[in-house]
């Protein structure tokens, strides 16, 4: 029960890694708030975990402000905020529409900034807090046909470092986790449809397999723990089976 009575908020927690994170914190005794733009999946996830659900579009600055205020009013504090909401369009740069670019940047870079800005004010006032951003190895290395996704995740990594630098003196830590290919339901669907090749992913990854969701979850739990990671801020923790370490020796795009 490492997080007993801690108020933990997770964006995009209706499914996938976000839900797995919410579930793990709930099992550790946290008061979990599921923030999800899809009201159906968000409400179902909250009911399953006995958590609080609030519908939130992270790209809506007014909604973010109101949501943070509502959480503070209900729980009186926010201890951990995880920016996990994501979206991805796959297309070569010359074929991308402005709407696709804008949507990816809005959800995965602007949204985390709006959320962090509002929750950061709360955490600075209370003198403690922890923001964790779910980045990606795509924020560290380029991949063809992933221009907006790579750009958003790279920006999120730099935002993590800037906020960590600004808020450390106030007792607020800001870190990021950068997963490689993780076996979420979306990745499984990509394997099944032929959009991604499991054989190529396995051969590209030094550990010879995709990651499991619990491996990302445990990394986040570590960073969130004020005892275990008390002197860590501005860190980008790669959970990728050696993917980025091996980058220079194998073309990234050949894994897809």
Catalytic residues: 149
DSSP string, 61-101: HHHHHHHHHHHHHHHS---EEEE-------B-GGG--HHHH
Q: How many residues does the chain have?
A: 256
| DSSP-based three-state secondary structure for 131 | strand
User: Distance of alpha carbon 96 from its chain centroid, rounded?
Assistant: 24
H runs (alpha helix) in 90-212: 98-105, 111-126, 147-167, 185-193, 198-204
% helix / strand / coil in the chain, to the nearest 5?
Answer: 50, 15, 30
Tokens describing residue 156 = 């999120």
Helices first, then strands: H and E counts in the chain:
9, 7
Extract the tokens encoding 192: 């099944």
Residue 71 near residue 33 (C-beta atoms within 8 A): yes
User: What long-range pairs does 95-101 form, CB within 8 A, spacing at least 24?
Assistant: 96/147, 96/148, 100/148, 101/147, 101/148
φ, ψ of residue 91 to 5 degrees: the values are -165, 150
């Amino acid at each position: 029960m490492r997080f007993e009575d801690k108020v933990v908020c997770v964006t995009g927690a209706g499914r996938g890694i976000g839900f797995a994170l919410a579930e793990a914190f709930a099992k550790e005794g946290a008061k979990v708030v599921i923030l999800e733009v899809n009201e159906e999946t968000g409400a179902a996830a909250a009911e399953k975990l006995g958590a609080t659900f609030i519908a939130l579009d992270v790209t809506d600055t007014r909604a973010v402000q109101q949501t943070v205020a509502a959480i503070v009013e209900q729980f009186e504090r926010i201890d951990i905020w995880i920016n996990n909401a994501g979206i991805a369009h796959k297309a070569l740069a010359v074929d991308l529409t402005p709407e696709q670019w804008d949507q990816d940047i809005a959800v995965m870079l602007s949204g985390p900034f709006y959320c962090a800005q509002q929750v950061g004010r709360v955490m600075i006032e209370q003198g403690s807090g922890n923001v964790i951003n779910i980045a990606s190895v795509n924020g560290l290395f380029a991949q063809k046909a992933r221009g907006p996704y790579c750009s958003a995740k790279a920006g999120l990594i730099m935002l993590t470092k800037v906020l960590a630098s600004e808020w450390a003196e106030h007792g607020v830590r800001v870190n990021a986790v950068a997963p490689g290919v993780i076996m979420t339901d979306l990745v499984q669907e990509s394997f099944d449809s032929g959009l991604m090749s499991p054989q190529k992913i396995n051969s590209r990854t030094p550990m010879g397999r995709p990651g499991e969701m619990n491996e990302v979850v445990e990394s986040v739990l570590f960073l969130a723990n004020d005892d275990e990671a008390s002197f860590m801020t501005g860190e980008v923790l790669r959970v990728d089976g050696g993917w980025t370490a091996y980058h220079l020796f194998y073309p990234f795009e050949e894994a897809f």
